[in-house]
Amino acid sequence: MSRSGGAEESSSISRQITELARMVRSAGKCVVLTGAGISTESGIPDFRSPGTGLWSRVDPMAVLSATAFRTTPEAFYRFIVELVETLQAARPNNGHRAIAALEKMGVVDVVVTQNIDGLHQRAGSRNVLEVHGHLRTGTCVQCGKTYDIKVVLDAVGLGELPRCDACRGLIKPDVVLFEDPLPVDFLLAQQAVAECDLLLAVGSSLEVAPVCYLPAMAPHLAIINLMPTGYDVRADVVIHAKAGEVLPSLVDAMREGTDGNTR
């Protein structure tokens, strides 16, 4: 790309960020929806990217489905341990921190995430709906007793299946598996999006059902994603760039454009 082309692209993104800041500032209620793309900048591979996504090297139905949990628990737990270790080693990036800053400023009401890494909370976000669950805890499938995920890791490390100390049922991580129903957080996310003025989708292909139906419920939509999505044509603002670069600039634009009153 020529210097002039790079400058033009930078100028275009700057204008888009300014427009997005105006939209966020004027929204009575803004909801942020995040996908795997915001966490790839923290070193967490996404699931579906050709060649680099987790599903390019393993069959998701063989390791992360309700059927796998029931029929091949040893393989299921080995994959879970590897996944937990990857997520625990990751750190929030500038994108996560910027969203937390927007929430603290009072311009983001709810963060809806498809991610199970907990990085939004670690960055400082408080009102987070995890529509695909998380890997902080596990629950006994028989009696419902809850355990810290460390109990699962320790048992698998000893070559054992993690079992409840009350009833000996298996402890299932609190992540939504393939074939599982979605948690109550998804219903709350639907309500939040239906009531919002603006949905800001970040780092998501917006293809995974049923989360992919949420943008259609919002009166206004903005998208920050490296690659085009099927919703680009109906979005008010589309920025094809890294979330960790765009979101901090959005925070700066919000601060420059307010006099202390964020709404």
> CA-CA distance, 18 to 24, in Å (whole number)?
10
Report the DSSP beta bridge partners of residue 184: none
Total Cβ atoms within 10 A of residue 13: 16
Report the DSSP beta bridge partners of residue 198: 30
Whether 132 is catalytic is: yes
What does the DSSP assignment read for the chain? --HHHHHHHHHHHHHHHHHHHHHHHH-SSEEEEE-GGGTGGGT---SSSTTTSGGGTS-HHHHSBHHHHHH-HHHHHHHHHHHHHHHHH----HHHHHHHHHHHHTS--EEEE---S-HHHHHT--SEEETTEEEEEEEETTT--EEEHHHHHHHHHTT---B-TTT--BEEEEEPPBTPPP-HHHHHHHHHHHH-SEEEEES--S-STTGGGGGGG-SSEEEE-SS--TTGGG-SEEE-S-HHHHHHHHHHHHHHT-SS---
> CA-CA distance, 201 to 190, in Å (whole number)?
14
Q: Which of 96, 120, 132, 134 is catalytic?
A: 132
Rounded to 5 degrees, what are φ and ψ at 184? -60, -25
Q: Which residues are catalytic?
A: 132
